[in-house]
Amino acid sequence: MRKIGNVLRSLRIRENLTQEELAKKLGIARSNIGMYENGERVPPLKILERFADFFNVDMNYITGRTEKEYYHDLQTKQIAQGIFENRDLRALFDASRNATPEDLKIVRDLLIKNKKKDPGSPGVFVNL
């Protein structure tokens, strides 16, 4: 129990969140966050999944089965979070899993062409 709590606390602190802020973002009680971090209670699987999704880490990292975080750098984490939060990007990413390299090049070229038309448009991908 203590291992999960230590990992959750370090992830929360890394994101500069209070227990209350994290609880609001995850839709759970602040007291539960405190009990999880103090090792007084083990989060149920559904809550562990919420933590993993929110912090963009592997479940094995949260449970202490591995010392490595799923995302190794901030840029990768930001890209993944952008995809996670945007329904259209999630759909595009999901569709790209079965795309051929030629298909990906066509879509990439189209996005680059569109970006040149409107250079002020926000984007998730840093180097298209």
pTM over 0.75: no
Q: Whole domain around residue 34: which residue ranges?
A: 2-62
Q: Is residue 125 part of a domain?
A: no
Among candidate residues 66, 121, 99, the one with its CA nearest the CA of residue 112: 121
| Residue 90: closest CA among 127, 41, 53, 52 | 53
- Give the dihedral sign, CA 21/25/27/33: negative
Domain contains 98: yes
> Burial, 7: exposed, middle or buried (Cβ in 10 Å; 0-12, 13-18, 19+)?
buried
Query: How do residues 44-87 score in pLDDT, each as one tens digit?
Result: 999 999 999 898 888 888 888 876 665 556 777 788 878 878 88
Domain co-membership, 54 together with 96:
no
User: 11 and 50 in one domain?
Assistant: yes
Instruction: Let me know whether 56 and 8 are in one domain.
Output: yes
* Final residue in a domain of this structure, among 20, 38, 62: 62
- Cβ–Cβ under 8 Å, residues 48 and 36: no
Examine the domain organization and report whether 58 and 82 are in the same domain.
Answer: no
